[in-house]
Amino acid sequence: MIELKGKPVADFIYQQITSELQSWKSSGWSLPHLAVILVGADPASQVYVQHKQKACEKLGFKSSLVQLAENITEKDLTEKIKQLNSDSSIDGILMQLPLPTHLDAKKFSDLIAKEKDADALTSSSLGLLVTGQQIIASCTPFGIIEMLDFYKLNVAKKNVLVIGRSLIVGLPLFHLLTQKNATVTLAHSQTVDLKSRLKEFDFVFVAIGKPEYFKPTDFKKDAVVIDVGIHRLENGLVGDVSSAGAAEHLSAFTPVPGGVGPTTIALLMRNTFKLAEKNRKFAT
């Protein structure tokens, strides 16, 4: 079984960005600048934001953390996003999710200017993805595609299942896989008798949000299973799929932690780089 670790994929992406940044010095361009909005003090969100800041530091990007109170009003959050949109020094904006329950994540994601939408979650960015015109795509799904390419796992003409239809993972991944010429089925919470159908698919991408909901033998023998889930239990971090017995049954599997996570952050850096590149070229 191939263990699909994310760090080698992320390191490859960082090397590409570093190489491309060399030409910026002769052009006199300022390095990319990412602003991250963090509302509240959720411990997991704080950790994720720290990882993103460290990635910026590693590449020499400028990063700004906009930390806001958990009880911030809709009006004040709207004003803050508008300020960041109008700041010409900022190339990319990412709003760390989830937001507190009184704030509508989709509504506020859509307030981010499309030319600064570093996680490609605005309706404009998703529309470009659906029509195959995207320059960037949502970080986690795009990271999964990079992982498939890195490990030379070809989904073309394969029967592929995506479990989960969120705007962050499932739906963007559906379209990215379709662009790769996979035959894609999208399952979700209303899919009837899902477990009985799993063995129909060569590749399964699991973002169901339930710890260890599936076991490796639920899937087709020698299937490729990409586990997007991550949950903190008493015995540590686990995914949506139990890892016990994966090596004997699957041909490739993502560990949790250490699988999809590192590629998500790397793609955020690439997205920020691409937005900054477009911004610099537009200004010249």
Rounded Cα distance, 194 and 174, in Å:
17
Phi, psi torsion values for 81, nearest 5 degrees: -65, -40
Residue with the two structure tokens 């995914």: 239
Catalytic: 52?
yes
Catalytic residue among 91, 96, 116, 134: 96
Catalytic residue among 117, 119, 218, 227: 119
Catalytic residue among 52, 116, 220, 274: 52
Catalytic: 96?
yes
Catalytic: 116?
no
Among 224, 229, 150, 213, which Cα is nearest to 1's? Answer: 224
Rounded Cα distance, 84 and 98, in Å:
19
Rounded Cα distance, 133 and 96, in Å:
25
Q: Would you give the DSSP letter of residue 233? A: E
> 178 Cβ partners below 8 Å, 6+ apart?
184
Residue with the two structure tokens 């960082």: 14
Strand partners, 117: 93
> 197 Cβ partners below 8 Å, 6+ apart?
161, 187
Collapsing DSSP to helix, strand or coil, 79 comes out as helix
* Catalytic residue IDs: 52, 96, 119
